[in-house]
Amino acid sequence: MIIMQWLKLKDLLPTFIYDHINYPVFFTDENLKLVFYNKAFEQAFLKNNEKVIGKNLFDVTPQLKDKSLYYMRAINGEKIDLFENYKEFSIYPLVNEGKVLGTVTTIEDKIDEINFNSLVEVFQGLGRKNNLDNEKIIFDKIIHVFEAKFGCVILVDNGDLKFRLFTEPLEGEFKKEDDKYVYYHVINKDKVMYFPDVRKSQIKTMTLKSLSTIGIPLRKNNSIFGILILEFRKIDPLDDKLMSYLLIWSNLLADMIFENLLWENYKELEDRFRLLSEQSLIGVCIVQDEKIVYVNPQLIEILGYPLEFNNINDLAKLVVSENRQRFLLRYKELTERKLGYIIDEFKCIRSIDRKPVYIEVCAVNTIYKGKSAVLYTFLDISYRKALEEELKQISNTDPLTGLYNRRGFITLAEHTISLTKRLKKKLVLIFIDLDNMKVINDNLGHNVGDMALKETAEILRSTFRENDILARVGGDEFVVLGIVEKDEDKDELIVRLNKKIEEKNSMENRIYRLSLSYGTIIFGPEEQKSIEELLDKADKLMYENKKKKKALTNG
């Protein structure tokens, strides 16, 4: 054992090498017979505590036979360094006083170093590229690091397969339900599928001469959106460590592709929105943090050139003063999430010619470029308003009070009910009767009776909103229909109406006293009764109210 004696003389303790060097180290004599090896060599090459000291190296490790030429060169005094399969082979001649005693070999696993350096290299480059380039960089690095012959990423989209990345284009049609390919099994079993030797399986590789393949699901939110497929020219090229590293890389690739898909979908939706918006006859704008970030051409057309649009206040300035605070309040209610959406009507003044324009405004909370925003649509309803005014002057208007008559009320009420059903809003219906009308007519004359009817109409106009429908539906009968947010709103309306009546009665030199009886109902979008049936119901409630008042008076 000349070599062992030499090791001890050189203070190279065999026990230290055996126990503490965690990669294979072994020595041969000049005839390439094993004379020493460490524990890592045993774990890598030997089975069942074989006794191999004194045996030929290539008999013990036939997998190293392809390196026999390098060992001959080492016996002749040459130092050899090789790198293959993520391992660095170093073969040294053992020389003492100019004589070669044998060889020492170290086999270091470099996959940790390769993987770490490759990750560092990729991350350093990500910030300098756009996301699509980064996606390709990660994919190419996977092919290089894991020495794949072929690689591709297939997206799974509603039953279709779409190639997103590949090392070489493929001919032919690939179907999701084709169980000859690895992607079919990845999709159906929802896990990594590794075939170390495809010759021993029923799996068909996507390229010729591939001997092994792996399919890795690309997931986001626990759902497969794609598959990474790698093919190799070697049998069983992936050990546990390589597999764990490959999964790390595939997760990195999945995150990058998914982010890109989200961005691509967003850009596609944004492009569609702009196309529809810019061809629309409806004005559109988006407000974010009180700043106007998007306006379509039609809105400028509706509100008139020249127009300076920077923030919500610029928009509010075009609304007439009596509507302006309500317009800003609606925006505040949306941004504070008190309301999910609004539909309202406003009178505006066109900036170019200062002419009035009536607009129906719909606004809803949305997300724009990742941040909360309010999307407004503006419909020019000036023509509709003009028609409404015309209707008031024709058959739908009561000539005495200027309110809608029964016909006009029924027409507008049906339209309003249909609209609120779509918007899932509630309506209040108030049936009103002017008390003691016969007494006024009999004692004071019909002219005074007409005056009482006109006063009642004026009180209704001052009490209710411009958008509420007011009508005189009989001799001394009135009706009001309006949208409410909650049931309690009807009580507030009655209180306000009673206050207006008291103010009128408190005026000096009055020759009669106004008194109204009410029947009030609230109904929602699920209501199936017709407007006539609802009027009848409210009418009955009004008479109950009138009876109670008479009973109190007589009592």
Tell me the average pLDDT across 176-196: 91
At 428 the pLDDT is 93
At 55 the pLDDT is 92
**Range(s) within the chain of domains with CATH label 3.30.70.270:** 401-554
Tell me the average pLDDT across 154-158: 83
How far is 360 from 280, CA to CA, in rounded Å?
15
Greatest mean pLDDT among 113-127, 171-185, 521-535 lies in: 521-535
**Cβ contact 34:8 at 8 Å:** no
At 244 the pLDDT is 85
At 1 the pLDDT is 43
- Max CA pair span of the chain: 146
pLDDT class of 72 with cuts at 50, 70, 90: very high
pLDDT class of 40 with cuts at 50, 70, 90: confident
**Cβ contact 246:238 at 8 Å:** yes
Question: Tokens 């003492």 map to which residue?
Answer: 96
Whether the pLDDT of residue 9 is over 60: the answer is no
At 160 the pLDDT is 79
At 307 the pLDDT is 64
Grouping H, G, I as helix, E, B as strand and the rest as coil, residue 216 is: strand
CA dihedral for 543, 544, 545, 547, sign (positive or negative): positive
**Cβ contact 479:410 at 8 Å:** no
pLDDT class of 7 with cuts at 50, 70, 90: low
How far is 312 from 321, CA to CA, in rounded Å?
15
78-92, 245-259, 303-317: least confidently modelled range = 303-317
pLDDT, the chain, mean: 85
> Does 280-383 carry CATH code 3.30.450.20?
yes
**Cβ contact 291:310 at 8 Å:** yes
Whether the pLDDT of residue 397 is over 80: the answer is yes
State the CB neighbour count (10 A cutoff) for residue 386. 11
CA dihedral for 501, 506, 510, 512, sign (positive or negative): positive
Of 361, 362, 138, 353, nearest in space to 255 by CA: 138
Tell me the average pLDDT across 47-65: 88
**Range(s) within the chain of domains with CATH label 3.30.450.20:** 2-109, 280-383
How far is 314 from 316, CA to CA, in rounded Å?
5
Grouping H, G, I as helix, E, B as strand and the rest as coil, residue 246 is: helix
At 127 the pLDDT is 54
Q: Burial letters for 168-189: b for 16+ Cβ neighbours within 10 Å, e otherwise?
A: eeeeeebebeeeebbbbbbbee
CA dihedral for 503, 505, 506, 511, sign (positive or negative): positive
Query: What would the DSSP string read from start to end of 250-295?
Result: HHHHHHHHHHHHHHHHHHHHHHHHHHHHHH-SSEEEEEETTEEEEE
Whether the pLDDT of residue 209 is over 80: the answer is yes
Encode 495-536 in three state secondary structure.
Answer: HHHHHHHHHHHCCCCCCCCCCEEEEEEEECCCCCCCHHHHHH
Tell me the average pLDDT across 130-155: 86
20-34, 188-202, 446-460, 469-483: least confidently modelled range = 20-34
Whether the pLDDT of residue 137 is over 90: the answer is no
Contacting residues for 335 by C-beta, under 8 A, at least 6 apart? 365, 372, 374
Give the residues across from 79 on adjacent strands: none
Encode 124-188 in three state secondary structure.
Answer: HHHCCCCHHHHHHHHHHHHHHHCCCCEEEEEEEECCEEEEEEECCCCCCCCCCCCCCCHHHHHHH
**Range(s) within the chain of domains with CATH label 3.30.450.40:** 113-262
Tell me the average pLDDT across 465-492: 90
Q: Two tokens at 281?
A: 């006859």
At 418 the pLDDT is 86
Per-residue pLDDT tens digits for 267-324: 666 667 677 667 777 888 889 999 988 888 888 888 876 567 788 888 888 888 888 8
Residue 113 or 156, more confident: 156
At 57 the pLDDT is 93
Backbone angles phi, psi at 257, to 5 degrees: -65, -45
Grouping H, G, I as helix, E, B as strand and the rest as coil, residue 554 is: helix
At 555 the pLDDT is 58
Fold of 2-109: Beta-Lactamase (3.30.450)
65-69, 131-135, 175-179, 219-223: least confidently modelled range = 131-135
- The burial class, CB within 10 Å (0-12 / 13-18 / 19+), for 195 is buried
Backbone angles phi, psi at 355, to 5 degrees: -90, 150
**Cβ contact 53:34 at 8 Å:** yes
Tell me the average pLDDT across 455-466: 92
CA dihedral for 383, 389, 392, 393, sign (positive or negative): negative
Q: Candidates 1.10.240.10, 3.30.70.270, 3.90.1720.10, 3.40.710.10; correct CATH number of 401-554?
A: 3.30.70.270
Give Cα 294 to chain centroid, integer Å.
20
Whether the pLDDT of residue 398 is over 80: the answer is yes
Residue 503 or 12, more confident: 503
Rounded to 5°, the CA angle 272-278-282 comes to: 110
How far is 471 from 473, CA to CA, in rounded Å?
6
Fold of 113-262: Beta-Lactamase (3.30.450)
State the CB neighbour count (10 A cutoff) for residue 156. 19
